[in-house]
A = this chain, B = another copy of it.
């Protein structure tokens, strides 16, 4: 039903919008899929973007929006079917305006997350969304995938940080809704519908984003706990004491620490032995309360409640950065080992400890493997990754890889969890959504897709199969 992007379409596009083909337009970070691109277009503004979409609609050509290309579920490329027009936001990179006292900036979709964060910092504010890929991830992609990261616990995900969007809808109309309002109850929440729709309902071209005040006092600590259950009790204790001041609460496993030892032997770790479980805690507090004192108070209370065994509180910005570096190097250490399968899951907080115990047993029963379970514990979001036993190669697990992932996802869903906490559905998890999604919800999603994109040109094959 759809046609490839070809010379006939090219002739219908606005002058100067086409780009030369390049590998960067059809790659994804893990190098597993290579995408197709019949044409590559990079509009300069929303109106030019709308003209491209109208031309694609008239020619029934699929459109694949392209941001930084850092997505992990294949939402940014299509590997089969008619070659699409790849719509790159690379020329829409402006930070259009910043209102420091208001705590708002308007960024175009091609600006990187790093650039948005820099623009906020330049006026003494912060854009609190923070991801490993922020140097290349773009605002449009960040919103389209409702990206998460390490500060969701306090500031919410991308959705929570967006007040308004400018977007090109599949019919080629521009929705101009770049409001800077904290409250606006005037009709359906199309902003949140476009956020997280992964480019299947339109293209976000600019957004008004929330800037948060920079806390007067910040501090970072690492604490040794016996179990994920103890970590969660420590989190509840921290939240009760800090009045919402816990900015990040990350779980690190002993397996992750040993992977770090192997991959980065020069990296200093704060504890001589490798404890089974650690948490990395960051707090941001009001003026008048030292973060050091608050973290010491938490440590003491945690120790009294038999939740914490050992701990270290960063005494400088450098030490804080060093503790964060450990957490941030875990995905690199994982890549060094080579995962059999990785999972971006979330669970209700009270199910996390049960899941970790049960899943550990279930995996052990399937074969000899190493598990590195780590991530954003404060959000119930774990990266639950499986690795070969020492001395074995990942290829030896090829025949059970799919079953392992299915097992993990089944266990997560059975406990009310999600098979995609922050990475989205893309194409790699579209079948999972079809399998585990609520039927009435899926039917409503399809009805909405059909209503807004009756030709099915917007990122076909992503999210809905």
- CB-contacts of A312-369 with B (<8 A): 346-350
A306 within 8 A of B: no
A92 to B102, CA, bound (A): 41
User: Does A185 contact B241, Cβ atoms closer than 8 Å?
Assistant: no
Determine which of B179, B212, B438 lies in contact with A176 in the assembled complex, contact meaning CB atoms within 8 Å: B438
The minimal Cβ–Cβ distance linking A133 to chain B, given in whole angstroms, is 15
Q: Which residues of chain B have C-beta atoms less than 8 A from A216's C-beta?
A: 240-241, 243
Q: A213-B240, A286-B242 are in contact. Are A185 and B425 (CB under 8 A)?
A: yes
The minimal Cβ–Cβ distance linking A377 to chain B, given in whole angstroms, is 11
Give the number of copies in the complex.
2
A184 to B420, CA, bound (A): 6
- CB-contacts of A406-428 with B (<8 A): 416-425
User: Which of A23-31, A114-122, A192-200 lies at the interface with chain B?
Assistant: A192-200
Q: Which residues of chain B have C-beta atoms less than 8 A from A180's C-beta?
A: 348-349, 416
User: Does A241 contact B182, Cβ atoms closer than 8 Å?
Assistant: no
Chain A, interface residues (CB within 8 Å), range: 35 or more
- CB-contacts of A209-263 with B (<8 A): 212-217, 232-233, 236, 239-245
Determine which of B154, B213, B239, B286 lies in contact with A289 in the assembled complex, contact meaning CB atoms within 8 Å: B286
User: Which of A167-175, A387-395, A396-404 lies at the interface with chain B?
Assistant: A167-175
Q: Which residues of chain B have C-beta atoms less than 8 A from A146's C-beta?
A: 185, 189
Chain A to chain B contacts (Cβ below 8 Å), 17 pairs: A101-B349, A160-B160, A169-B440, A175-B438, A181-B416, A182-B346, A182-B378, A183-B380, A185-B422, A187-B437, A187-B464, A189-B196, A216-B240, A242-B287, A243-B287, A288-B289, A447-B451
Beyond A103-B349, A174-B440: 20 further Cβ-contacts under 8 Å?
A: A99-B348, A101-B233, A101-B349, A104-B348, A152-B183, A173-B440, A175-B440, A181-B380, A182-B379, A183-B422, A185-B425, A186-B420, A186-B433, A188-B444, A188-B445, A189-B195, A193-B193, A213-B240, A286-B294, A287-B294
What is the interface of chain A, defined by CB distance below 8 A to chain B? 99, 101-104, 145-146, 148, 152-154, 156-157, 159-160, 169, 171, 173-177, 179-190, 192-193, 195-197, 201, 212-217, 232-233, 236, 239-245, 284-289, 293-294, 297, 346-350, 376, 378-381, 416-425, 429, 432-433, 436-445, 447-452, 463-464
